[in-house]
Amino acid sequence: MSGFRIDNLQYANWSEKIFRQMRAGGLDAVHVTIAYHETFRETVLQVERWNRYFEQFPDLIFQGFHADDVQLARDTNRTAIFFGFQNPSPIEDDIGLVQVWHQLGVRFMQLTYNNQSLLATGCYEDDDTGLTRMGREVVTEMNRVGIVVDMSHSGERSTLEAIEHSTRPIAITHANPHRWHAALRNKSDTVLRALGDSGGMLGFSIYPHHLAGGSDCTLDSFCQMIIDTADLMGIDHIGIGTDLCQDQPYSVVEWMRVGRWTKGIDYGEGSASNAGFPPMPDWYNDNRDFGNIADGLRNLGMTQGDIDKVMGDNWYRFYTDSFGGA
């Protein structure tokens, strides 16, 4: 049997169509974003929304809590859904909510989303001051209960300090190497080496603003980047986190970028003329195309065992080590 297929970051406009496409693509597990700037109560409403999806489509999806749920999904021809935050706003200023959210099924939390937070500095700030005092305490608590520290939208110093302070390996769930494409969100070789050396995980993103060539990025270029990064970090520390935002309207881009922190528009990695979701590359439109990545890696000479690691087995091992209490 082939290895697991795990996409470790999506924020789609969820629907039965997308859940069926997950099944058509053979995805055993997907880490989904349930919060960008939401408060505690607003994020609870997202959990309620997902509970209705689980009730409506039990033959397609169910909520995952443990790594074993990935195997259960494979055995029952379904997709396990794991919750995550792209900002620490749902814990507000209360460290006690870290455990509450773990109990509700949250398994990943970014310490920042582009901006400075109570915990760390985002990748769009001019001055990265690293983990704050609260940030260090929250990382320790996340380590204790089993929520993965995610530094996808964080600055370099903050990310390196998170790697150093965390007693468990951290993740960068959706980003690419900065040397391949110089987006602010993409990560330096220094960060990637430290991530690999510490046992952490990088999920490669297919969001066009993160790609060399943008929407015109070729499958060969993307897969060669994966191979090169395996040489840098080690094949055991890489996976996929597509950042698929399928069927989302422009208003969601505004919410992601702006939240409530400004009255203006932050175009992020785009511009006023390209502020919405850019077209996906022609080799990746939705979950049904997940296997194209494996085909691309195979065509460039990667062994089947290493392909299985990239496509999901590495994330499965990481889940096994990360989701339980310390």
Q: What is the CATH number of the domain that holds 278?
A: 3.20.20.140
Q: Which residues contact 273 (CB under 8 A, 6 or more apart)?
A: none
Q: Is residue 158, in this structure, part of any structural domain at all? A: yes
Which residues of the chain fall short of a pLDDT of 50? 271-273
The pLDDT score that the predictor gives to residue 275 is 57
The pLDDT score that the predictor gives to residue 273 is 46
pTM for the model stands at: 0.96
Q: Is residue 118, in this structure, part of any structural domain at all? A: yes
Q: Is residue 278, in this structure, part of any structural domain at all? A: yes
Q: Is residue 27, in this structure, part of any structural domain at all? A: yes
User: What is the 3 state secondary structure string of the chain?
Assistant: CCCCCEEEEECCCCCHHHHHHHHHCCCCEEEEEEECCCCHHHHHHHHHHHHHHHHHCCCCEEECCCCHHHHHHHHHCCEEEEEEECCCHHHCCCCCHHHHHHHCCEEEEECCCCCCCCCCCECCCCCCCCCCHHHHHHHHHHHHHCCEEECCCECHHHHHHHHHHCCCCCEECCCCECCCCCCCCCECHHHHHHHHHCCCEEEECCCHHHCCCHHHCCHHHHHHHHHHHHHHHCHHHEEECCCECCCCCHHHHHHHHHCCCCCCCCCCCCCHHHCCCCCCCCCCCCHHHHHHHHHHHHHCCCCHHHHHHHHHHHHHHHHHHHCCCC
The pLDDT score that the predictor gives to residue 255 is 82
Q: Is residue 236, in this structure, part of any structural domain at all? A: yes
Q: Is residue 1, in this structure, part of any structural domain at all? A: no
Give the count of domains, the chain: 1
Q: Which residues contact 156 (CB under 8 A, 6 or more apart)?
A: 123, 128, 187, 188, 190, 191
The pLDDT score that the predictor gives to residue 155 is 98
Comparing CA positions, the residue from 151, 249, 156, 141 lying closest to residue 200 is 151
Q: Is residue 237, in this structure, part of any structural domain at all? A: yes
Q: Is residue 149, in this structure, part of any structural domain at all? A: yes
Domain span at residue 228 reads 6-322
The pLDDT score that the predictor gives to residue 15 is 98
